[in-house]
Amino acid sequence: MANAFGFLRGAGDMRRVRMYNGRTGESIDTVYWVNGKYIREALNEINIFMRDWRTGTAIGIDPRAMDVAAATHRLLQTNEPYMMLSGYRSPQTNAMLRRTSSGVAKNSLHMSGKAADMRLKSRSVAQMFKAAVACRAGGVGKYSRSNFVHMDCGPIRQWGA
């Protein structure tokens, strides 16, 4: 995560995430880290926003996943909020998606609140992928046909075409 934090240092002493969910119609725009500390109330808002919309279940989203998204967003130099396609996924939702798609991992980091699938209208998947990989802070998957980038705070790796 060291590189992602380096990109965020220039943001002043705060970290912000801006997203909307096309499935629920909800939006979030919150500062979740100030002066070296995560803000519990903001993280709670993120947990609810990123819940599994199919089941309504929410868990604690790993703040490092937000750090990867925030650092990537900063590198892309856009004010457009992310469209979040998938945040937390319950085991039931993940199993259902595995039955209908070959691109869903059995032990997906979405199930532990460590991953998000994001899209931006103003940036290509290739641009988002390149920026997320530059953060060197977790896994980055490029899903060109589905028009989104997977970002997580797991081991550093990359995949996709």
| Amino acid at site 9 | R
pLDDT band at 3 (very low <50, low <70, confident <90, very high): low
CA 37 centroid distance within chain: 19
Provide the edge-to-edge strand list for the sheet that holds 37-38.
37-38, 27-34, 14-20, 82-86, 115-119, 148-152, 139-143, 157-160
Q: Is the pLDDT of residue 140 over 90?
A: yes
User: Region 79-84: what's the mean pLDDT?
Assistant: 97
Q: Does domain 2-160 have CATH number 3.30.1380.10?
A: yes
Mean pLDDT of 18-26: 95
pTM score over 0.85 = yes
- pLDDT, average across residues 105-131: 96
Please provide the average confidence, as pLDDT, over all residues in the chain: 92
